[in-house]
Amino acid sequence: MDRKIDVKDISDKVKPGRKTHKASVDRFDPSSTIYVRSVKGVYQRLRKFMGWFLLLLFIVLPLIPWDGHQAILFDIENNRYHIFNLTIFPQDLTLLAWIFIIAAFGLFFFTTYLGRVWCGYTCPQTVWTFIFIWFEELFEGKANKRRKLDESPWNGNKIWRKAAKHACWWLVALMTGLAFASYFVPVYELYTSFFTLSASFALTFWVLFFSTCTYINAGWMRAIVCTHMCPYARFQSAMFDKDTFIVGYDAKRGESRGPRSRKADPKELGLGDCIDCDLCVQVCPTGIDIRDGLQYECINCGACIDACDQTMERMGYEKGLIAYTTEHKLTGAKTDILRPKIIGYGVVLSLMCGLFVWNLLTIKAIGFEVLRDRNALYRETNEGLVENAYTFKIINKTMEEQEYNLSVTGLPEPVWSGPTAIRVAPGEVFTQPVSIAVDPYELDKSILTIQFTVQDTDSDEQIQQESRFFSGGR
């Protein structure tokens, strides 16, 4: 059977009237430096707003006092996690699993609909990279000046500019490391001990570790993380389809590209609207040419859109040569927004959010666990009663001392040995051994199912745990 596989020719070809531009660096080479040119526009203002908002939120949240503790504090040492009014203990960490599931499906939903907007506007790597680039421009100038400075020999001017830039990078990185640590260590304790050099080795290590990671990732690696390390760039194609909104170049309108004067009529020259200024490449943080089509390195930041719109405005052409669009729209077809994949992700995401809220609302302020004595199923007392021993583990999940009443049901006239009322400190895991004795002649089974109850005396909230009572068949 003669079956042929169609082969697409992807070799570079120069079309008549088209000027080709080669990138100044190889974006696939981790040692290459990409000098990102600054650009202003609608999407860059949105990106900067999102970046500064998320950065300030990241720094400020642990600083907010809330009901005697930080608004957000993951106290690993004491096994309690404060999120405003909510205090979560290890027994409730299923909430964390729900959060991860919701985040995953949220990422799938928005990626299918809007492409890699997470990468372009909210990813920490993107936010911190642009902050570091801002300091770079402040001390070393625009992209061309930075390139010339790097190529120039070392002298006093170059040394002070580089030193000032790296000092600011380290300052931002250190603030980032401290802000991250403040989610796990009380803020006052953290800053006081760190800056007085009295912090523990572990605390100092983790602050400096995250500071170093921030300095390396945002200062040196930058796009390398996006193109070589981030797994999201690799599996995003599984979520993309031809109706996904991406940053796209309208080749029908732009080709054939080429330079011309503002007064020239491109149709008379046989040219499209693209003047081949190469600005879309110069402003791209990952160094790609969006005119080559959809590429996994594109982070949907919209920098090339703003740069192209400015060029179109200067030339007197219609904006939108590069825009947020879909592959269907670029080919003249209709974009289908409400498609099965979007609806499916939306339904699952809504279901997961509902289950998370239900789980959150049903959390008990009391944690209760019953452990039977493993040394003996039962024993006989001097009075001839059958006795079973249990150990209660009671957790007070509130931030105030609580009093609880203990009781048992399912047994005829049980004799309780141990306290029936206890007081438990805030966040304490209280261990209480008790024993239950019953007259064996009152029992009709060798194994009975019983219920232990712990009840809060103030709120009347209660929680029950099932256990077994053994009598040995008597």
Instruction: Please state the pTM of the whole predicted model.
Output: 0.76
What span, in angstroms and rounded, lies between the C-alpha atoms of 164 and 137? 12
Q: What is the pLDDT of residues 415-437, one digit of tens each?
A: 999 998 999 988 788 899 999 99
Q: What are the two backbone dihedrals, phi and then psi, of residue 155, each rounded to the nearest 5 degrees?
A: -150, -175
Q: 380 has which bridge partners?
A: 386
Report whether the peptide linkage leading into residue 256 is cis, meaning its omega lies within 30 degrees of zero: yes
Q: Which of these, 450, 330, 442, lies nearest to 388 by C-alpha position? A: 450
Burial class (CB in 10 A: 0-12, 13-18, 19+), 428: middle
Q: What are the start-end ranges of the H helices in 298-428?
A: 303-315, 327-330, 340-361
Which domains are delineated in the chain?
Answer: 42-88+123-221 (no CATH), 366-470 (2.60.40.10)
Strands of the 80-83 sheet, one edge to the other:
72-75, 80-83, 86-88
pLDDT tens digits for the chain (474 residues)? 444 444 445 444 434 333 334 444 555 555 678 889 989 999 999 999 998 899 999 999 999 988 778 889 888 877 778 888 777 777 777 888 888 899 889 988 988 998 888 888 989 999 999 899 999 999 999 989 999 999 999 999 999 999 999 999 999 999 999 999 999 999 999 999 999 999 999 999 999 999 999 999 999 988 888 888 888 777 777 888 889 999 999 999 998 999 999 888 888 899 999 999 999 999 999 889 999 988 888 889 999 999 999 999 999 999 999 999 999 998 888 888 888 889 999 999 999 999 998 888 887 788 889 998 888 888 888 888 999 999 999 988 877 888 999 999 988 889 999 998 999 988 788 899 999 999 988 888 888 899 999 998 887 788 889 999 988 765
Q: How many CB atoms lie within 10 A of CB 19?
A: 14
Q: Which of these, 433, 434, 438, lies nearest to 381 by C-alpha position? A: 438
DSSP secondary structure string for all residues of 269-312: HT--S-----HHHHT-TT---GGG---TT-----HHHHHHHHHH
Question: Is the CA virtual torsion 100, 102, 103, 104 positive or negative?
Answer: positive
